[in-house]
Structure formats: structure tokens, C-alpha cells
Amino acid sequence: MAECYAATMRILALDGALACCAAAVVIDDRLVAAHQVRGARGHAAVLPGLVEAALAGAGLTAMELDAIAVTIGPGSFTGLRAALALAHGLGTAAGCPVVGVSVAEAMAAALPNLGGRELWVAIDNRRGRIFLHRAGQAGGLFAPEPTALDALPRAERRIAVAGDAAPEVASRLAARETDVMLTDLRLPPIRQIALVGAERLRGERPALPAQPLYVDPPEARLPQGGLRPAPR
């Protein structure tokens, strides 16, 4: 997606991946307006109001946006779908591109100076495991690995840990006498979501579809006998 964009770029950032939903407008790397609500549920009902408030705070309409950046996961199944559906709907109405940003990318962008430590981003999957992203995988992108806390990989370098499961991961690494630093970053910062999206639009990052990043298989299963036949 290496298209040519104007010097002034107005980006709406949306996030519903974890226990918070947020919307913000970033213009030329500057956070102009941001609104968020903490909580693990109700993202679909809350996000449209946050978008409206962010656009009003920036003095813009959706039609004036140059792009929309939205987190794709990993995270809450319903939260991700709510944010992505809203982003695509707004993007279609405004005629602007929608770009995906992973939770780990946004966190890494917020932690550029770690003193040579390797960043691990640990996200709680609410099933007794974590999604672990380690820097350097998949050509620089963060490829999530579903991992049990008692089966964390061996750390070959000094580590910094971020994410909502970071305290537990840091504790377990410290118990192994790993040189680990617990950062204070638990959620993807909304400004960094927009900045990573802008870099992707400029072709400075590999393309990433604005589609849900599911790591675990879906919990829903078809009935053993299959779906009921269609009514006649």
C-alpha cells in the first residue's frame, strides 16, 4: 500500500482489542482528540459514541479523514469484530483506506528505547494461556504464539515485557533468573495505533489486512448432526 499521501494526514484510530475501547484523531503524528472507556464488555455499543466525540474534538467529519487505523488483535472476539466492522463502515462511507495494526506493533512503537532488551508482548487469552509475541518473528512483525504460562520459551537475551499478562510472565521469567524488565504498558496506546497505520500507508511496514487476527480456534462448534435443513 505504497500510495502517495498528502503531507497532512488525518487518521482516525480505533481500538477494541482488550479491556478498553478507544477512538482518537491523529493529525501529522499529533494526538488531537482521544476518548476511551475501560471495560471488557460492551465495545460495540460504546465505540460509535467515542468516534463521534473524537471527530468532534478534532473539528472534523468522517468525510475529511485520510485513513482509519484499527487494531486487529489478538484480543476479545467481540471487541475486535465491533471495532473492525465500525472501521470498515466508516471507511466505505468516507472513501478512505482502512489499515490493520496488531496490538503488539502498537505497543512496540510506544517502547522504542529498551536499552537493547528484546520486547515480549503477553496478552491474556482468558483460557489459562497467553498469546506471546516476540520481536524479530515473521520478518519484524509480531507473530503470536499461544503459550501456557508454565511453558514459556527460554529467553536468550535480556527481556522487557508488556501487555495485560506481563506481570505474570515477568514473574515467571524472574523465577528462572532471567534478566527481565516489567514495563508499565498494558494496553496498546491509541496514538501509536495511528502512527503505525500511517507507516503502513506509506509503505514503511509490510501490508497487514484489516481483518481479525485469531490465534485460537473458534469456541463455537457445529452440531454433531450438522445444521438443520432450511425450512420449506
- Which segment, 141-150, 180-189, 212-221, is predicted with the most confidence on average? 180-189
pLDDT (mean) for 119-140: 78
pLDDT of residue 102: 93
pLDDT tens digits, 8-24: 799 999 999 998 899 99
pLDDT exceeds cutoff 50 at 206: yes
Indicate the SS3 state at residue 29.
coil
Amino acid at 41: R
Indicate if the pLDDT at residue 79 is higher than 80. Answer: yes
pTM, full prediction: 0.86
Residues listed for the chain: 232
Q: Which pLDDT value is given to residue 132?
A: 92
Set out the domains of the chain in order of their start, with CATH numbers.
Answer: 10-103+187-201 (3.30.420.40), 105-182 (3.30.420)
Strand-pair category, 30-38 with 20-27:
antiparallel
E strands in the chain: 10-18, 20-27, 30-38, 67-73, 98-102, 118-124, 129-134, 145-148, 159-162, 180-182
Say how far apart CA 125 and CA 168 lie, in whole Å: 13
pLDDT of residue 98: 97
Q: What is the pLDDT of residue 3?
A: 54
d(CA 84, CA 82): 6
Distance (Å, whole) CA 123 – CA 132 = 7
Which amino acid is present at 222?
L
